[in-house]
Structures are given as structure tokens and as C-alpha cells.
Amino acid sequence: MRIYRLSAEMTGFIDNQRKTGQKIGFVPTMGALHQGHISLINESKNDNNLTICSIFVNPTQFNNAADFQKYPITIENDINLLELAGCDILFLPSIEEIYPTQLTKEHYDLGSLETILEGKYRPGHFQGVCLVVDRLLSIIHCDDLYLGQKDYQQCMVIEKLVELKNYDLKMHFCETIRENDGLAMSSRNARLNESERIQATAIYDTFLYIKNNISLESLDGIKKTAQEALTSKGFIVDYVALTNEKLEPLDIWDGKSTIVALVAAYLNEVRLIDNMIIA
């Protein structure tokens, strides 16, 4: 696997490859890689001649400084996993490469996406996500972009960014990879202690409860019970939401349209998010 640290060199290499007709797939990450990330690499390898992974812990998307400081960094292990998966290129830039002093910071008009759910609880977070993804896409001219549905709202935000900036690429929203007990794989899981790790499965159990009861109870009743179940397992809940596929809240269900259940909750210091398409 080739490793590039400089933006100009990264762009030069990719543009040369594209000239020779190579199709490029791109998987942006913040490292501390797990099989969820690797599933995106595998998807990209299926569709493209060259797969590029970036690892960059983006300071502008952390609305909480301690969360940024404590973000796990496991670069040697990440490189091993990427080599094993057959990733072709790793882009591993410094903060200065991504945010040179002359870079003018744009503001992205994300509409209501910025004020609901994650946007409400993490002010500024999605502007930071757009800033880094915009910068990465301007360095890495890819044909296909791979994102995890684990971050459902982020997928929608990046879809909006791609539309706003007219990036000519195809987006792929890939299924959430879970541990055997249902916990969604996440770099933040490494910060859970033994008992928190056991408690954390309550999120998946909550989705199963919602799925099994969606046509039996009112949506409000289901949300209330789900929230109480999480609280009783030691979570401090930011939200339990039931929405349509555009993340618009639902009060009633017509029995046939798509319902997405989304949860964000803290186990002590660690904030976990997850979602499931219920129907």
C-alpha cells in the first residue's frame, strides 16, 4: 500500500491514474479502524480499480475538546488492517495539509439538517464535517465515495455537500457492521470499560423492541418506553427519534412507509449513536 502525506502529491498521483482510465473509490475515515471501515474498503474494491482510504482526525468536527483529545489513535494497527484488506493507497495528512493557513473556511447551507438530531446536540459538527470532506474531495478526485449508514445523518449532509459543490461522483451508503451481540462497530467502543461494553448492547435491543412493537403501539408510546429502557440501563439519552427516510419526525405510521429509528446516548463519558431502518 502506498502512503501519501502531502495533498499535492496525492492529487498528482490520482489525476495521473484517472488519465489512464483507472476508476477511483474513496473511503474517508478518522482511523481507529475496525471491520465496519473495512467493509467500506471491500465495497470500494469491488467497484473500482484503485481504493484510497484517508485517515484524519478532524478537529473542526469535534464540538467537545475532550472528545477530540481522547479520540483513539491506532495508526500501526490501521495500516495493518488496510494492507490485509488490499487497500491501494492511504492518505495520511497532517492538520496543516488539510487546513493550510490560506484556506478560506466556507459556510455550507445545510438547511434543517443542521438543526435536528445530531445537528441540535452537536452545534457546528456538520459544518466541520463538510469542511473536511469538501477539502478531501478537492484533493482526492474520486469516482465513487463510500460512507457508512451508521452515521445516517452524516450521509445526508455529505449528499447535500456533493450537490452544493457539484462534485461529479457516485455515493454509496453501506450497511452498518455490528458485533455479534448487535452493538454497532465504532471507534468510540474502544473507550468503553467492561461493564459499559455489556450495557451498550441495550441500544440494539431497543431497536429490536421498536421493530417488534411498531404496529402495536403509538409512536410516542414506543419512543417513551425505548427511552426509559435505555435510561434504566445507565444511559443518559440525547434522543430516541422515529423519522421517515429524510429524517422528518413521524407522529403516526401508515403501516407501509419507511421508518428510521435513531438513538444518541451517553454511557458515562462515551457518546454512542446508532440507527436502524425499522420498516
Given a contact cutoff of 8 angstroms between Cβ atoms, the answer to whether 55 and 92 are in contact is yes
Binding status of residue 131 toward ligand AMP by CB under 6 A: no
Which of 92, 98, 139, 147 lies at the binding interface for ligand AMP (CB under 6 A)? 147
Q: Is residue 57 a contact partner of residue 95, using CB atoms and an 8 Å limit?
A: no
Distance between CA 115 and CA 110 in Å, rounded? 9
Q: Is 273 in the site for ligand AMP (CB under 6 A)?
A: no
With binding defined as CB under 6 A, does residue 43 bind ligand AMP?
A: no
Kindly give the pairing relationship between strand 89-91 and strand 50-55: parallel
Check if 172 is active-site: no
Q: How far is CA 169 from CA 27, 103, 163, 258, in A?
A: 13, 23, 10, 26
Of 98, 174, 226, 263, the residue at the interface with ligand AMP (CB under 6 A) is 174
| Candidate ranges 2-10, 178-186, 222-230, 237-245; the one touching ligand AMP (CB under 6 A) | 178-186
Work out which of 148, 162, 272, 278 binds ligand AMP, going by CB under 6 A: 148
What is the dihedral angle through the alpha carbons of 53, 168, 275, 258, rounded to the nearest 10 degrees? -150
- Minimum CB separation of residue 124 from ligand AMP in Å reads 16
Residue 99 CA, distance from chain mean position: 21
The residue within the footprint of ligand AMP, chosen from 88, 134, 144, 151 (CB under 6 A), is 151
**In the complex, which residues of this chain contact ligand AMP (CB under 6 A)?**
29-30, 36-37, 39-40, 147-148, 150-151, 174, 176-177, 184-187
